[in-house]
Every structure is written in C-alpha cells, then in structure tokens.
Amino acid sequence: MEQMNGLVESVLESAAEHELWAPHDTIVVAVSGGPDSVALLHVLHEISLNVMPLTLICAHVNHGFRPESKEEAELVRGMAEQMGLPFELAEFDIPSLVKASGLGPEGTAREKRYEFLIDTAHRYGARSVALAHHADDQAETVIMRLLRGSGLAGLSGIKWKRTEKKVELIRPFLRINKTALLGLCQNEGFTYAEDATNLLTKYKRNAIRLEVLPFLERYNGKVRQSLVQLAEIAGAEDEYMEASAVKCFEELVSEGEGKYTFNRASFAAIPSALQRRLIKLILNYLSADLSALDFSKIESVRRGTLQSYPTTWSLDLGGGLTCVRQYDIILFSSKPAQQQASYTYRLFLPDSELKLEEIGKVMLMAVLERENFFVQGEDYGKMSAWFDRDELVFPLTIRSRLPGDTIRVMGLNGSKKVKDIYIDDKIPAAERSMIPLVCDGLGNIVWIPGVRRSMHAAVGRHTTSVLLLSLAELDDHEET
C-alpha cells in the first residue's frame, strides 16, 4: 500500500499544479488493459474513495487488431464491475477502416479511439478524459520530435492537458516512469494484459523505446529523466514565448477582410525569436496547417521582411496562403490574389453620380460656378479634382487600368507611365487595381484619383465654370 500512497501523492501534486480536476468532477478513464492504464484506474479510484470525491467512468476500445482483443475487453469490464464503475465499450474493425481514412492503421485507431472517448465524456457530462501516458512516453516523444527537427513547442512533448471538442484530455502520470507503474500492478496484484505489438520495432515509437533510448543510456544513465526535464522546461518557456507573441500581435498587427498586416520597421525592432513566433501565430490565425510550414518557409518570410531589397515580393506558402511585401508593409492572406476587374463606363453631363460596382466606389460629378469654386475649392482633398468645364472634352470615360497607360502630368514635359507613378508613390500592387482612371472624350487620362491629375482642362483665370469630380466609397455614399 506504501507504493500506492506514494503514487497518489505524486499524482495529486501534479493535478494541483496543472489544475487537472476539482472535487465532484466526472472523469472518463481510458483503460486499454495494459499496466499503465490499469494503474491509472486504480490510482484515480483510490483518490475518489479516500481523498477527493470524483465520479469515474471506465472506457475501453477494442480496435480489432489482435485475436486476444476480446479477452482484454472482458478483463477491463470485470475490473470496472469490481470497482462499481460504469463501463463503456467501443469495438472497431480498424483494418477495414484504414483505406477509407487514409491515415494508416495507427492513425485510424487513434482517431476512432479519441472520437469514442470524447463522445463518452459528452454523454456523461464529464469534464475530462484521463489518459495513462507516463514519463517514458514523454521521453520517447521528445526524442521523436528532436529527430523531426521540432522547435520549442515540439520539445515540450505531451501536454498535461489540452481541450478537444470542449473536453479536457488530461495525463496525470507524466512525471511517473513505467517501472513504478509496473511495480504497483505487480505488488498490488492488479491483473493486466501485455500487448505483444509493443515489441515490434517496425513501429517508430517502439524502435525509439527498444533501440534508441537504451543506446543513449550507455552515455547517460538518466537520459529519460533528462528528456522529461527538457519537456518541462521547454513547455514553460514555450508558454511564455507564446504569450509574448500574442502581445506582439496585438501591438503590431492589423486585421481586416481575412488579411493580416504589419509594418516592417516595427517587426524589425523585436527579437528574432519573437519574429518567428509572430509569423507562425499569424499563419495559425489564417487556419494554416503549421505542420506543413517548415523552418525554411518561416525564415524566407522573416529574412525577406528584414532585407532592404527587393521592396516588393510575393511568397506562396502553400495551402492557399500568401505573404506579400508592399514596400514597408507585410501582408498575409489566405485568399488567392484577386485579378483586376475590367470595366469601362461613360459619364455625361448632367449626370451627378456613377456607381463602379467592380471596385465598390462611386464617381460623383458637380458643376460649380467660378465664384463658388474659389470659396469651396480649398476644402477638397486628393480624392477630388476640378477641371475647366468648357475645356474638358466629353463624354468622360471611367475605366480600369490597361498595360502601357500614360498621363501628361502638370509640371512635366511629355508623358509618364501610370505604372511608374504607382511605383514612385509606393502604392501597393494590391491597391492599384482599385484605382479607376478618368479619361476625356479624346482618350487622354485626365485624373488618377488620389494620385495625379493631368495638365488637361486646368482651371485658370479665364475659367467661368468648374467641373468637380470626386471618388467615394460606395457603401459610405449609400449610407448617407
């Protein structure tokens, strides 16, 4: 009983530290029939009887892999009955489900197992599902993640708890090694089953346990303990860094229409560790599959942001995700780049407005007498332009940009390409398609709203009537 008391005390300490349960919680205990899960059921049962009121549900999954699976299910059923606990059983023919799932035997079994356990928790109104992963499992996981090239998050290994479909998956044994659990079962006479597949090295985890860790123990007899400590340290530091990344996100990143943007200078001012975290966090918010985003892609974004040149680029991150640099702005999007809408409209006097549905804008036109213009003209901003009405050739054309477009700008001899003006003014490529061009009846571009107007039909001292053009947001105009 001394060994049971020691394990109970250790589990209670971990449970309090990580808030794994509270008095009167209902917990579904996943029991495979192996020594680890049998020990878990007995330890939690001891706690529920003598330390804290807990309601336990014993749940077992028969995956249909081995002939002895049915015997193991009956073993667990008898255990639950002996303790007076409800018993829930799921039986799956995993071999026949593998083709449909595409996950392989282990992946399919895991998916169906967790699906059943979480469903059982929902039916009983349970807060959590208790799983028997222990310190040796943790050490194996860290080695596997290390070999895969994981970062800090991966090296933190198996979590003490995580939430899936509003049910907490808890692991009270993560600091207890396999030997202690086996010893408990043997000393207390708890019956358990041995899974022969645990000795097959064709499974990667088994190979780590049976070959890699024993080899490393030749150089460090406490390598398993060291790996568990690494997971504890990495987990705590990962949580701290993640919280710091969230804070950076709130301070630096702007969100709108499924896009996230930040300023290059602000990004450069934070440490490189946070830079990588911030990029991953943004991609996570865009529902990215982070397992497909390797270190090289994150670094491509980070280095491309920090480099002075080129000032514009686009990076396909896969899965429909793109990162675009537009001078000093970095933009992340989960939507493919929109192709420029092609449109052409005619605008005649005395029309007062023209809706440009393709870009969500409206062109407004008003005629002002000379005296009214000089009173009001100072109030109009870059989204308005005025022309000598008598000098302007009608009808006007409002259209999308075409390759090779040029404009005769005031104060400049000859013409300049519209594309070059956009580049000089550092107008982001994504915004250029939203800018319409206004042409006169001869085809000359007379105004690029918010950018430039041409030398045509300039208002002068001989002007008697002024034509005022303004570009506004369609939604804002309709609301007023």
Mean pLDDT value across residues 426-445: 87
Identify whether residues 406 and 282 lie together within a single domain.
no
Within-domain flag for 193: yes
Identify whether residues 256 and 191 lie together within a single domain.
no
Identify whether residues 182 and 49 lie together within a single domain.
yes
Identify whether residues 241 and 307 lie together within a single domain.
yes
Within-domain flag for 160: yes
Within-domain flag for 225: no
Cα of 375 vs its chain's centroid, Å? 54
Identify whether residues 262 and 179 lie together within a single domain.
no
Within-domain flag for 272: yes
Identify whether residues 254 and 353 lie together within a single domain.
no
Residue 34, annotated ligand binder?
yes
Q: For the domain that residue 319 is a member of, what is the CATH number?
A: 3.30.465.60
Helical ranges in 170-253 per DSSP H: 178-188, 204-207, 213-217, 223-252
Residue 411, annotated ligand binder?
no
Mean pLDDT value across residues 447-461: 89
- Please tell me the predicted confidence (pLDDT) of residue 424: 85
For residue 233, pLDDT over 90 is answered with yes
Mean pLDDT value across residues 66-71: 83
Q: What are the DSSP calls for 16-43, one per residue? A: HHHT---TT-EEEEE--SSHHHHHHHHH
- Please tell me the predicted confidence (pLDDT) of residue 177: 95
Which tokens in the block code for residue 389?
């009405």
Q: At what angle do helices 104-124 and 94-101 cross, to 10 degrees?
A: 100
For residue 378, pLDDT over 50 is answered with no
Within-domain flag for 220: no
For residue 284, pLDDT over 90 is answered with no
Tokens 């008391």, residue? 5
Residue 32, annotated ligand binder?
yes
Identify whether residues 129 and 38 lie together within a single domain.
yes
In sequence order, the 6+-apart residues with CB closer than 8 A to the CB of 355 are: 361, 362, 474
Identify whether residues 177 and 33 lie together within a single domain.
yes
User: What domain range is 353 assigned to?
Assistant: 344-479
Residue 33, annotated ligand binder?
yes
Within-domain flag for 261: yes
Within-domain flag for 87: yes
- 377: amino acid identity, one letter: G
Label residue 300 by pLDDT band (50, 70, 90). Answer: very high
Q: Which of 333, 366, 381 is the last residue of a domain?
A: 333
Identify whether residues 92 and 190 lie together within a single domain.
yes
Tens-place pLDDT, residues 9-25: 999 999 999 999 999 99
- Please tell me the predicted confidence (pLDDT) of residue 105: 72
- Please tell me the predicted confidence (pLDDT) of residue 480: 44
Nearest to 193 by CA among 41, 72, 360: 72
Label residue 377 by pLDDT band (50, 70, 90). Answer: very low
Tell me the pLDDT of the chain averaged across its residues. Answer: 88
Identify whether residues 268 and 302 lie together within a single domain.
yes
Identify whether residues 316 and 350 lie together within a single domain.
no
Q: Which of 177, 199, 221 is the last residue of a domain?
A: 199
Label residue 337 by pLDDT band (50, 70, 90). Answer: very low
- Please tell me the predicted confidence (pLDDT) of residue 478: 57
Within-domain flag for 139: no
For residue 291, pLDDT over 80 is answered with no
- Please tell me the predicted confidence (pLDDT) of residue 379: 44
Label residue 375 by pLDDT band (50, 70, 90). Answer: very low
Domain count, the chain: 3
For residue 67, pLDDT over 80 is answered with no
Tens-place pLDDT, residues 78-116: 999 999 999 999 988 777 776 666 667 777 788 889 999
Q: Which of 333, 360, 382 is the last residue of a domain?
A: 333
For residue 27, pLDDT over 50 is answered with yes
Label residue 224 by pLDDT band (50, 70, 90). Answer: very high
Label residue 286 by pLDDT band (50, 70, 90). Answer: confident
Identify whether residues 409 and 451 lie together within a single domain.
yes
Q: For the domain that residue 159 is a member of, what is the CATH number?
A: 3.40.50.620
Are 398 and 438 contacting, i.e. CB atoms less than 8 angstroms apart?
yes
Q: For the domain that residue 375 is a member of, what is the CATH number?
A: 3.50.40.10
